[in-house]
Each structure stands twice: as C-alpha cells, then as structure tokens.
Structure 1
Amino acid sequence: MVKNVEREIISREFPKNLEERLEAILSSVNTEYKSVTLGFLLDDSWKTKSDIRNTAESYVNPVTNIIPNANSFKAYCISTFIPIGAVAEERIRGRIPVSYYKLTEDGKKYGKPIAQFSLRTAADKNLSMYEIFGSTNSPGKTRSPFNIAKILFELEKEDNLRQVDLVNECGLANVNVRQHLLRLKNIGFVDYDSVSGEESGWSKYEWIKGKNLENIKPVCKLPTLTKKVANKMKELRISDCNELAKILDYKYSAHISKILSGLEKQGFVKKVKFKGKEFKAGEKKSEVSITEKGRKFVSEFLEPVYLALEDDFDGIYQEIEIFDDPSLTSYYISRGFSLYKNVCPGYKRKSKEENESRILQILKNQKLRKKEIDEAFGKDVAIYLKELVESGEIKKEREGSAVYYSLA
C-alpha cells in the first residue's frame, strides 16, 4: 500500500519596486556560478539538485571545469533565487523527502535573460562579477551588489565627488562606502584618494621638484628604506604608503607612512591638495571619480539591466542571441566557471570529498598513471589516490614498471 505524500509549493513574488528589483537581480548574478544556474541550468521543468548539476555537466566537461556540487545548486535556489521570486520549490514529504526547483514566470522573464547577459559581460570583459560586486553578505539594509551599483550611478552622474558625498547620496555608512570604493579602485572602475589624517596610511604625498636626494636624513633609524622610499617618490611624483609598500615589496606600510611623514618634515614631500569641492572642518578629505572603464560598465551592463527591469529588453536580447549556438553556450559557461574559480574565496579550501569526486571524474572510462592524474587535476593528488584505493572506489594495478589507477 502506497502512503500519501505531502506536496508543498514554495514561491515568492518578484519585487514590484524598481530599486528592489535591481537589488534582487544583482544579488543573483554576483557570481558566475549563480548566473549559469539561473540563466542556463534551470527552466520551466521541475529539477532536483542533482538534475541541475547533471545539466551543468551536459554543457561542460567536469574534468576540466570545477562544477559546484549538487548541494551548492540547492543553496543558490533556497538562499537567493526563491526569496526574490525567480525560482519556485516543490517539496515532497514522504519516506524520502525530496525538493524540485524550476523558474517562475518572472524568473523566465527577468532572471534568465539578465543572468545570461551577466555571464556574457563577465566573460567578454575578463572580469568576474564577484570582483565587482563582492559577496551579498553586507551590513545595512541593502546588499553589497546594489550598494556598489548605486555608487557607480552617482559617480556617473557627477564626477569628482567626495566620500562623504557618496555617504549622503547613497544612504550608506562611511566605512561601507570606503570598502566599496577600495574594491572599485582595485579593478580600475574609480580613481579614489583619501588624505584624511583620521585614516592612517591613506595620505597622499607629492615629491617637491628640485630637491636633492643626497640631503635626506634617515627616518626612524631606517636609512636603507628611507632612501628607497625617497627614490621611488621622486620617480612616481605622487604616491602613498600602501602603494609604496606594494611596489617596494615591503611588509610594513606603517614604517613607510612614518618615513613619508619624516620626509615631509624635512621638506622633500608635501601632502596632496585635491581640486574640487571645499572641505568643511571635520569632513574626510577625499576625492572620487569614475574612470572610463567604470563608465563603460555602467553604460554597457548596469543601464541595460535597469532598462530590462522596466521591461525594455532591447539592449539585452541582442547580446544574448549568441546563446542560440550550443558551442558558444558551452564556451561561455566554461569561461564563467574559470573566472569565478580564480577569485572565489573558498576555492582553495575545497573539501576532501569534492577533490576525490573530481578524481573519480578524471578516471571515468580510462586508466591513468599518477603523473597523468596530477596533470589533469592541477596538483599532486597522492593523498587522495591512497584514500580512494583504501576505500575501494578505485583500483591500483601495475603493468610492467608503470602503475595505473582506474575506477573499481
């Protein structure tokens, strides 16, 4: 006798407000793994987490690509796509509970094309969306990807703003704006300088022309470092302690900060004064401007996404027509996986199970020597091979002087 099973459909409403839509969508495409899942792996048919992963394998080779495990795809659905109304879940409670996932109507209308557009943009610009937007986990009422978009929109409207202007316009905490600006500066989207004495290490100094290096006195009993800093300042003309620490490959930027201060007292450098708005007492002295690279990202990605959320898809549909070609689709998915793998904070901490699973994929339908497995995997896998042999999942056989591994 078959017992009745309980079925429950979990579905949320897609936001109506335009800004809420933008926040929801940007949090769904801040990594290429999410973009691929929403844009290519999910459709209007119900799929288990394993079905989603199998769909990924139909696009790219699991041996040469790091494909997330099935639980990761489940997490994307539960934590990101379902809460914004892009994906629905069907839970079946029986002897063995199981969940299925599929796109909602709004997921098909907005989520899928924007996710595909996001993947193409990242691959074409050779820049992971994670490098731009970072993690969705951020303090405050709104998430990091949306906050970064707001900052870029403000800078695109008016150049040469101060950090405090962005704090006021975007309604964000000063420390969060600074973190976002540092991220955007790192990828070349903005020029950002802060000369506030309140922020140690972020004062900019300018070399004073005509000064003789031979007259410099050692600062902080560091004669060699003082000379290196002075020489580099003369060469660069304008710099700060953090930039100099990187260039000189010196670990302690605080030492360089003290040397710059000492050189200022000796009259060899001076603190930079910015053009632009006047600074009021107590305000942070900073200057932010968007670069051409940043402007292109706004016009070529953020604005088309914004328009699509207003039901104007012209700018997006034209760009995603290439995915009618299966070979190009596979190429872009593989490219997206590679981009995110290179910047993903957790990639180097892959679990033992994931590494062993990848070795099993490498050995599928073939037997290989350890050296060949190392080359396919990208590192020494001796410890994993030993454990897989002991567990009986693979076998080790000697043929003459060579040792081969294959699936048991």
Structure 2
Amino acid sequence: MTERLVVIGNGMASLRFLERLTERASGRFDVTCVGAEPVAAYNRVLLSSLLGGEVDEAACTFRGLDWYAAHGITLVTGAPVTVVDPGARIVQVGEGLVLPFERLVLAVGSVPIRLPKPGMDLPGVITFRDLADVAAIRKAAVAGARAVVIGGGLLGLEAAVGLRRLGVDTTLLHVMDRLMERQLDHAAAGLVRDAMEARGVRVRLRADTEAVEGEGRVERLRLTDGTVLPADLVVMSVGVRPSTALAAAAGLEVGRGIRVDDRLETSVPGIHALGECAEHRGVTYGLVEPAYEQAEILARHLCGEDAAYAGTTLSTSLKVSGLPVFSAGLVDVPEGAEAVTWSDPAAGLYRKLVIGDDRLVGAVFVGDVGEQGWCKTLIRTGDALAPGDRDDLMFGRAPPRPGAAHPLAA
C-alpha cells in the first residue's frame, strides 16, 4: 500500500526533498506537490543574474515537467493551498480541489517584509523575492530610471548590482553601520562597499527610511534625517519572515516559524515542515544550505532510516560585484576568544579567523576564499587546531615537496 503524501510548496527545499525521496523510496508514496507560483521550482540564487541579464529564465530551471511525471509526482502549479485540515487529513487547493493525505510536508517558504512606513503600498515599490518580482523590476527599470534599494543584506546587494547592470541609476540604503552585518565585520564590509561603489552603486549607511512619497506612484524617498532621494523605483529587501499563516490556521504549533523536532515533524503527527518556514530548536534559517540538509534528513526519516536533524552551522559563500566573500560561524569576537587577521585593502583581500580555546569558531574571507571548505569543517566538528593550521588557514596550505606526501593529506 502506498502512502498519500502531499507537499505544499514547490521551491528549492521542496524539490530537493522530492529528489532525495524518489532516490530512496520509488513507489512507496503517492506524491502530490502543490506550488503557488505558476512555474515549477527554479533557482532563486540566480535571480540577481536574471535581473541583470546575465542569464535567461531557462537557466534558472531545475527540473522539467517530464521529471515530475517520470517519478510519479503529480505537480499542481499556480494554485495556493487555502485550507489544511489535520483532523480530516485533507488539503484544499483553491476553491475546489481537495487532496487527502497520510503524510503532509509544509515547504511554504517565507514572505518578504515591507517596512511599516508611509507609502510602501505605492505603485513602484517592489520586493525582490521571485520571478514575478524580477519581471516587475525589469519593467520599471526603463532608460533614465532612478532606483533606491532598501536593505544592505545579501538580497539587497544583489538587487542593486542587478539594477546597475541594467544601466539604472541605483542607490543602496542600509540602516546599519555596515553592509551584511550578520555575516561580515567592519573591515570585510568595507571591502564589499568599495566593490559595490566601483560598480556604480551609491551606498548610504545609517540611512533610515521615513516614507516613500509620490502622487499615485513612487516619486521620491525621504530619510529620517530629512534627506530626499528622487526615485522612480523602490526595491524593498529588508528581510523575510517564515510563512506560518496556513499552519497556524490548522492549529499547528507556531513560533517564529512552524515548530518542528529533530525529525522535522510538527506538533501534529504525520505533518512535517522544512526550509525557511520551519523553526527548529528556536532557530529559523533563511539560507539554502540548511533547507537542503533538512530535506535530506526528512527524506531519510520517511523512508524508515534513523535520521535526525541537529541544526546547521551557518555559512555564506557568494560573489558581490565579482568579489568572492565567505563567512561562517562567529563574526564578532566573544570574550575569551581571539582574532587573527590579515588585510591587503589595495588588492581587495582580507582574512579573519576567530579562535577560542584553540578551536576555530568563525571565519571571514574576502577576495580569496580558497580555504572555505576546511574552515566550515573545523567549525562544524569543533576539532582542535593542529600546529601550523593557523598559518595554513590564513595563507593557504603549502604544496607538498615533489615525491613527498602532504603532511595534512591524511
């Protein structure tokens, strides 16, 4: 007997879960996947490249519709789920489609935050989250347009770079004193700012938006210090919040996200959650890597394996205006720890190791990220640093002598 499994959401986390599930349990589940967007899962990481014209929409596609059909997955797109009834074990899609289930997976992602300031509902204020947002931004990014991007996190930087590639006059606002403050210290953030400005993006820090103004559509943005910035387009990228409304209405336990245990199960047996909508041990993640780890664990668990999710050590690896950036673990130095740094601002190079109790607890690299994999492993395992590790992490491992095994090869 096959179990009826319904997956709500068809984003990157959902697709990774379906891929891992079909690898392990072909024919074990009768799977229906319901996505609110009109297309199948795509690579959101490439949205800024799509916005800037570096790739086309086809390059963002993961799996064609034939893949779902070949694996026996019924895919429903462009159809938001309106009701989850845990007692009756049914999901209602739109007004008429009803899907019974034995197992349910919520992979409903997150929703972009809009600042609670006047004018945020004016035409021309757009979030940067999905394909529809990219299309709306590109439509507004006409010749001579002036854009203001609010938010100096990863997505805000990507949106600003994408707009500049389109030739749009672009200003990036961030309320904090440095860009990407969760991932970068001041020195690293300064190099990223330099890279942004070298690409023609104006960056204003400690810039708090008071209101967006205009007659019938966006015309200007006013800061709390009185500065007025002309704007034809305002892109909002100030973060996301887990999508919990559907789960809360169904009576599932909800905090910041949909609360799950180490097997990604919610407060209702047989109903699971993963990805950006899930809250595990009080933590919600807004990155792809934790979602993929959760997808792997849940697929193994549903296939009868003894698999548990213990959380993810956060890391970020990306290119900002062509500048490689890596961050993992702690960015700021806690009491009792030390920082080892090396900097060459003229070359755009910076490395910082945060070391506590002779263990690597954090790392920030800009310009050269060659040892990022090793750093992630050391931070995750908590292994003590061996003699010479500090130098090798800072400057790279020396190549072995001809005919000799590398001392770290084992």
Q: Which has the larger radius of gyration?
A: 1
- More helix per residue: 1 or 2? 1
Higher strand proportion: 2
> Which range, TM-score by smaller chain?
under 0.3
Q: Which has the higher contact order (CA 8 A, sep 6+)?
A: 1
**TM-score normalised over the length of structure 1:** 0.21
